[in-house]
Amino acid sequence: MHLKSLTLRGFKSFASATTLRFEPGVTAVVGPNGSGKSNVVDAIAWVLGEQGAKALRGGKMQDVIFAGTAGRPPLGRAEVTLTIDNTDSALPIDYTEVSITRRMFREGTSEYEINGEQVRLLDVQELLSDSGIGREMHVIVGQGQLDAVLQARPEDRRGFIEEAAGVLKHRKRKEKALRKLEAMQANLTRVTDLTNELR
Ligand code: ATP
């Protein structure tokens, strides 16, 4: 699985439709200060379902919509499409190429699409949940975050590594199963007590 392309329309400084194509391997985005490099990264986080305006370096969610410049009026909506190569079936969907689109209007409503079909945010989150590229999975390391990782306590750093390796979700599932087991054990003890009382 790798990111194939990203198309931005009316997203932050990208008023006109702009497509970036990524080849397998490392891609570097270079440009002068304020030219929109971080906006590209924000667009990836946003299309994957980011819900926090602060994480997108804005005050409110609508700040992602092109706000206009001296020579160009503001736009009414922002749209980003991320296309992922899925020839290795890393995403649990029967397509070798998967496009995720998010659209937001000035009144604040968001729409999501998977391969052109309208879906809910939950469907996008579920599609990505086992692939390691969903929200809160540290796939995007912001400026300053690297310092936080380097200065983290060993057990927190282990958490980052486990998350990247895909171990964390199994640990969480194990913890949930153990909690259920404990509750069942308590129920069983209670049933045994009652049976003994009735004898
Ligand atoms: P640096 O190298 O300084 O980190 P950068 O290349 O990462 O800069 P960004 O932070 O991605 O730059 O882009 C900032 C630019 O995006 C600013 O010029 C800002 O005015 C513009 N911008 C942000 N949001 C919007 C918006 N909603 N509408 C129009 N322009 C926007």
pLDDT 10s digits, 160-193: 787 777 777 788 889 999 999 999 999 999 999 9
Contact 115, 95 (CB under 8 A): yes
Smallest Cα–Cα separation from 112: which of 125, 101, 99?
Answer: 101
Q: Report percent pLDDT > 70 for the chain.
A: 97
Domain 2-135: which CATH number of 3.40.50.1370, 3.40.50.300, 3.30.479.30, 3.90.226.10: 3.40.50.300
Tell me how long the chain is.
199
Least confident of 120-129, 134-143, 165-174: 134-143
Q: How many Å lie between the centroid of ligand 1 and the Cα of residue 38? A: 7
Q: Give the mean model confidence (pLDDT) for residues 29-38.
A: 94
Ligand 1 pocket check for 35: Cβ under 6 Å: yes
CB 42 within 8 A of CB 61: no
Q: What is the predicted ipTM?
A: 0.95
Dist. CA 182 → ligand 1 center (Å): 51
Which of 8, 9, 12 should be mutated for ligand 1, with most atoms under 8 A from CB?
Answer: 12
- Asked if residue 37 has its Cβ within 6 Å of ligand 1, the reply is yes
Map residue 56 onto helix, strand or coil.
helix
pLDDT of residue 11: 98
pTM: 0.80
Atom of ligand 1 lying closest to residue 66 CA = 28
Residue 125 CA to ligand 1 center (angstroms) comes to 27
User: How buried is 163 (Cβ within 10 angstroms: 0-12 exposed, 13-18 middle, 19+ buried)?
Assistant: middle
Instruction: Give residue 137's pLDDT band: very low, low, confident or very high (50, 70, 90).
Output: low
C-beta pairs of 162-165 under 8 Å, 24+ apart in sequence: 163/137, 163/138, 164/132, 164/138
User: Comparing 143 with 91, which gets the higher pLDDT?
Assistant: 91
Identify the pLDDT of residue 134: 64
How much distance in Å is there from the Cα of 57 to the middle of ligand 1? 10
Partnered with residue 68 across adjacent β-strands are none
Question: Which ligand 1 atom sits closest to the C-alpha of 31?
Answer: 6
User: In angstroms, rounded to a whole number, what is the distance separating the alpha carbons of residues 98 and 113?
Assistant: 10
Does 133 score more than 90 pLDDT?
A: no
User: pLDDT for 84-111, tens place per residue?
Assistant: 999 999 899 999 999 999 999 999 899 9
Place of tokens 């020839």: 87
Q: Is 38 in the pocket of ligand 1 (CB under 6 A)?
A: yes
Tell me if residue 37 falls in helix, strand or coil: helix
